[in-house]
Amino acid sequence: MMRRNQWLVAPLGAATAAALLSGCGATGGSSAGSGKGVVMGISDKVKATDPASGYDPGSWLLFNNVYQSLLSFPKGGTTPEPDAAQACGFEGGESRTYKCTLRGGLKFSNGHSLTAKDVKYSFERTLKINDENGPAVMLASIGSIDTPDDKTVIFHLKTPDATFPSKIASGAGSIVDHAEYPADKLRTDGKAIGSGVYKLDSIDKKSASFSVSDSYSGKAKPKNSGVTMKFFNEDQAALKKVLESGDVDFAFRGLAAKDIAGLASQSGDQKIEVIQGAGAEVEHLVFNMSDPVAGKLPVRKAFAYLVDREALVKQVYDGTATSLYSIVPAGIGSHTTAFFDRYGGTPQPEKAKAVLRTAGIKDKVKITLYSTPSRYGPSTDQEFQLIAKQLNDSGLFEADVKSIEFEQYEKDIQDGKYGVYVKGWVPDYPDADNFTQPFFGPDNVLHNNYENKEITGTIIPSTSAKSDRTAATTDYNRLQDIVADEIPLLPLWQSKQYAVTRPNVTGLQWSLDASTVFRFWEISKG
C-alpha cells in the first residue's frame, strides 16, 4: 500500500467475476459507534487526503476508512465484495466491460447523495489529474465510463483486465463528491469528504482525528466512537515509549523488529499484547541483467544456492518476517515455491561451486551489493552485510556492501550503475497480477533490463483475460518457474503484520490480512 506501488519501508484468491458479484449489506445510517474512542500510533505519514494523489500506506489507511469504493475486501478475504455497489460483474465473453449497480441511500458525510455521476467523476478525475504520486497508473485500462442512470456505472476497458475488480476495491477506487473536488486539480485544504464509515475531523503533522459518520450506509458496524492517529514519523523509539506508557492504545507499522520480538516475548504480561497476521509485503535482491558480472546466469545461480533466508529472518529481523521462495508470496492465489524447489532451503556451496566452474568461472566473483536503509529500514544494511558474509564464507565470492541515500540510489539504478540491489514491494491488491505484471518488460519497476517474451507476450495477456482467477493458476505457475530459472531477482522474505496493543483493545486481527486494508470499525476498547 505500495507506492506507485509503494516500495517497502520495513518488514513489520481474487475475484471470480464471470457472474455478478452481489451482496445484501446493511442499509440505513450508522450509529455513532458502540464503544469508546481509540488512539493509535503509526510511523507512516498520511501524505494525501485527496485520493487522486495518495499512493502510500498512510494515505490509503485514511482512504479505506473515509471513502467508499464500489467494492471492498472483506475481513480475512482477498475476493472483493460489493460495498457502495449492490452488484458488479463483467459482461460478455471478455473481461472488458464491467457493470456496477449502486445501492440506494448512499450519502457523503456532508449530506450530499452519492450517485453514478460521482463514481464516473471520481475515476475520470484521477485519470485526468494523473498525479505523479497518485494511483492513476492502476486505472490505465479504463477507456470510457457510461452512466445510463443514477445507479448504473459501466466501465469499458481498453484491454481485458480480470483484476479490475481488485483494483477498484483498493484506495484507487475511492469515490468523491463531484461538488466538493475540482475536476482538474488536487484539493489542497487537507479536508476529506467521503461516504465511508468515518469522517475526517482534523489532521496536522502530529495527529489526525476521525469520528463515525452519521451519513454512512453499508455493512460495517463500528465498534468504537472514533479513532485518533498519532504520527511518529519513523521514530521507532518514541512509538515504543508511548505504547508502553499508555499514551496510545495500540501501534501499527513502524516498530523495530527487535522491539516487536521483545514485546512478543512478554505477551503474557498484562500491559502489552502482540497481534500477528499475514503480510504480503516482500523484499527481493534484484540483478541488473546488463551488468558484466550480475548479468551472468551462473553468478545468479550461485547466489540462489548460497543465500540463507532463514538466517536473515532470524538474525536480522528477529522472526518478524518469513522466508520467501517465489515472486508471488504465500497467502496470495497461485503462490508456488519455485526457488525452494530448484535451489533448496539451506545453503549448498558445492552446487554453487559446480555451476560457476562449469561456466569457466574459477576466480572469486567480485561484486558489490547496494542497500538503502533510508527507504527500506535501518536493518537493510545489516541484512546485506550478512548476505555478503554468506557469499564470502563459501570461498566463491568477494562481496562488499555500499549504503546509498534513497534519492541517489534510485537515480543510479535507473542509470544502470548497480549490479545487485534491494527492492521491496507493498501490494495494491491481493492478486498474483500485482506481484508479476509490474516487474517485467522494458519499463518494469525494477529497472533491471530484464524481459522475457513468453511472460510479456503470452502469459501476462492470458492471465489478464481470466476473470476466474483460479483459471490463471497454470499460467502463473509457468511464470514463477521461468523467473526461478532465469533469476532476474532473488526473493528474500515476506513480512508478517503486527499490531502491538494494550490488553483492553480488541479486533485488530481483522486488519492484519493479505488485503492490507486497515479497518478502523473493527477495533473496540474495553
What mean pLDDT do residues 109-133 have?
Answer: 97
Q: Count of CB atoms within 10 A of residue 470's CB?
A: 12
Residue-level pLDDT at 346: 97
Residue-level pLDDT at 255: 79
The Cα–Cα gap between 317 and 497 comes to 13
pLDDT band at 256 (very low <50, low <70, confident <90, very high): confident
pLDDT band at 105 (very low <50, low <70, confident <90, very high): very high
pLDDT tens column, 290-303:
999 999 999 999 99
Which of 156, 140, 160 is closest to 148 using CA atoms?
A: 156
Residue-level pLDDT at 92: 83
pLDDT band at 1 (very low <50, low <70, confident <90, very high): very low
Does pLDDT of 2 surpass 50? no
Residue-level pLDDT at 23: 35
**Which residues have C-beta within 8 Å of that of residue 354, sequence separation ≥ 6?**
none
What mean pLDDT do residues 11-27 have?
Answer: 33
Residue-level pLDDT at 268: 57
Does pLDDT of 373 surpass 90? no
Which three cell numbers, joined as nine digits, stand for 40?
Answer: 493509535
Does pLDDT of 34 surpass 90? no
pLDDT tens column, 197-221:
999 999 999 999 999 999 999 889 9
Mean pLDDT (the chain, rounded): 90
pLDDT tens column, 140-177:
999 999 999 999 999 999 999 999 999 999 999 999 99
Residue-level pLDDT at 30: 43
311 or 236, which is more confident? 311
Residue-level pLDDT at 32: 52
Among positive and negative, which fits the CA dihedral 74, 78, 82, 85? positive
What mean pLDDT do residues 482-490 have?
Answer: 98
Q: What is the percent of the chain with per-residue pLDDT over 90, rounded to a whole number?
A: 72
- Mean pLDDT is highest, among 25-29, 91-95, 436-440, for 436-440
In degrees, rounded to 5, the angle at the alpha carbon of residue 493 between the alpha carbons of residues 509 and 344 is 125
pLDDT band at 287 (very low <50, low <70, confident <90, very high): very high
Residue-level pLDDT at 266: 66
Does pLDDT of 66 surpass 70? yes
Does pLDDT of 271 surpass 70? yes
Residue-level pLDDT at 490: 98
DSSP for 265-313? TTTTSSS-EEEEEEEEEEEEEEE-TTSTTTTSHHHHHHHHHH--HHHII
**Which residues have C-beta within 8 Å of that of residue 407, sequence separation ≥ 6?**
none
Pairing of strands 152-157, 81-82: unpaired
Q: Count of CB atoms within 10 A of residue 205's CB?
A: 9
> Lowest-confidence range among 14-28, 416-430, 436-450, 488-502?
14-28
Instruction: Check residue 253 and give left, alpha or beta (phi > 0: left; psi -120 to 50: alpha).
Output: left
> Lowest-confidence range among 290-294, 346-350, 441-445?
441-445
Residue-level pLDDT at 190: 94
